[in-house]
Amino acid sequence: MLALNMRLSSRYPQSGFTLIELIFTIAIAVVLMAVAVPSFIGFQRNSELTSVTNSLISATNAARAEAMKTGMNAFVVPTANGNDWSAGWVVFVDRDRDNSYSAASDTTVLAQGAIASYLSITGTGNAALSTAPYIMFDNSGYAKSYGTTPGVPNLTLSIARNDVPSAQTATETRRVVVARTGRARSCRPTSSSDTSCSASTAD
């Protein structure tokens, strides 16, 4: 019986990993994960950057459309009439004509929640006022200002990743440009083919 078992063992050798093979396989898996995970996270966050940019474009276009449809001023403002666009924003028709958002007296068109912590939004012109920044459209669809020190109608909102080295910040930035005509578009500040990606040259 023992001789038979030995003959069977030699005819059908046992298969499997040796300890060295297992360690080598794990090491390769660790290296692949170290390369793939940061790339996946970067891809995911760039997708979010694009999504937020598109949401701002949609909000701006919605405000302009509502202003022309209702014949009243319409706004895009940071959530809770604050000054931080990263906290989210609200699009509304200013029915009580006080240039600020009131859920009770104004018509809420849409509301966007806070964006991811690895993204930040900064503005220029009316969108950069220290108190109650805004984007406003009149009944003709033009970007307008109000108040005694209104800033300039031409403005931009820059959406940037804040989790990358400073040398990469410009590359990981998207910009929403709102012209005096009310036209809104998105662009990349670093694009060599788009030299007008700024508020001062918007039309």
**Cross-strand partners of 156:** 177
> What span, in angstroms and rounded, lies between the C-alpha atoms of 175 and 169?
12
Question: May I ask the CATH architecture of the domain 20-70+116-201?
Answer: 3-Layer(bab) Sandwich (3.55)
Task: Find the mean pLDDT for residues 167-174.
Answer: 91
> What span, in angstroms and rounded, lies between the C-alpha atoms of 112 and 39?
28
> What span, in angstroms and rounded, lies between the C-alpha atoms of 59 and 178?
12
Q: Is pLDDT above 60 for 202?
A: no
pLDDT computed for residue 23 by the predictor: 78
29 or 92, greater pLDDT: 92
- The encoded tokens of residue 57 equal 């474009």
Residue that has been written with the tokens 């005509």 in this structure: 181
Instruction: Report which residue type is found at 1.
Output: M
Helices and strands of the chain, counted as H and E runs: 3, 9
Of 185, 202, 159, 178, nearest to 74 (Cα)? Answer: 178
pLDDT computed for residue 35 by the predictor: 62
- Tens of pLDDT, residue by residue over 112-170, are 999 999 999 999 989 998 999 999 999 999 999 987 655 566 799 999 999 999 888 88
pLDDT computed for residue 147 by the predictor: 75
Domain residues of the chain, as ranges?
A: 20-70+116-201
- Tens of pLDDT, residue by residue over 2-59, are 444 555 455 555 566 677 777 777 777 777 666 655 677 888 999 999 999 999 999 9
Give, in degrees to the nearest 5, the angle at Cα 52 between 34 and 65.
Answer: 165
